[in-house]
Amino acid sequence: MATRIDGNRIRDEIKDELKPRVARLAAHKRPPGLVAVLVGHNPASEVYVRNKVKTAHDLGICSEKITPPDSIRTEELLALVDQLNAREEVDGILVQLPLPKQVDAKRILLAVSPEKDVDGFHPFNVGCLVAALPAPRACTPAGIIQLLKRSNIPIAGKRAVVVGRSDIVGKPVALLLLHEHATVTICHSKTADLPGVCREADILVAAMGRAALIDAACIKPGATVIDVGMNSLTSRDDVARIFRNSAEKLAAFDAKGSVLVGDVDPIAMVKKSGAYTPVPGGVGPLTIAMLMANTVESAERRLGVC
């Protein structure tokens, strides 16, 4: 029977470890400060930011949400980021993506001070990741490493395959696995014989945003499967096909009009893997937990409190 890796439990462990660190900062200097910039009214982004602000509040982190209109121009948003860079009490700046089309997202992310870049997206911090130097790490990849370590899944000496080469997940998680002494292969849409390469993996990370693309032919028996995908199925036929006519999933679809599925075939993952992350409840909870960890670490560095 495959082991289900409980992301909610590990998230709570990390939050419990952060609370005394936040209290120590508050006692010696001040609480950590996090500002989320949410442009416009993207429903998914509003949910993400609300959850991030709530988690910060629960931990005792001073959180603030700034909501410019979706008509904002690049220069105006750059000026706002400059103001946040200059505020001493702000340790972390989160600019929620996506941004409106008229805004140059790359210029905005480059404008965030690297020491306050708690998303770990700034090229300076990416360079530190490559060189294995201390700096904020991209939250989802850092969360994946925590899932593996806290589940006592060996990484050193193992074959790891990452399917997906995004700057946010694929590339940084490959580097983090490499730093943990795994032998790493990155796959993408041009990879020849994708199933054959995936079957070499002791640790398989699926992060390409394609519903249930990784099927049984891609999974080595007993492998650890980390499913980063979060795809919404809006077709009842797709739900029936992917979940093998599961009465529970079909009932959920009929009630809500959609069902979540990862990038890995959920039935094949449970049957063939040795351990796996469910969707939802696997990787997702760790992303916000690692954002909070990055914010606390930023405050500790900036305030000289260890």
Known catalytic residues? 52, 96, 119
Note whether 14 and 73 are within 8 A (CB). no
Distance separating alpha carbons of residues 285 and 118, to the nearest angstrom: 16
How many Cβ atoms from other residues are within 10 Å of residue 45's Cβ? 17
Buried b (16+ CB within 10 A) or exposed e, 58-71: ebbbbbebeebeee
Buried b (16+ CB within 10 A) or exposed e, 166-199: bebbbbbbbbbbeebebebbbbeeebeebeebbb
Note whether 74 and 91 are within 8 A (CB). no
Give the list of residues 6+ apart from residue 221 with CB closer than 8 angstroms, or none: 272, 274
Distance separating alpha carbons of residues 217 and 238, to the nearest angstrom: 19
180 token code pair:
């943990």
What angle is formed at CA 226 by the lines to CA 224 and CA 228, rounded to 5 degrees?
Answer: 170
Note whether 207 and 213 are within 8 A (CB). no
3-state secondary structure of 232: strand
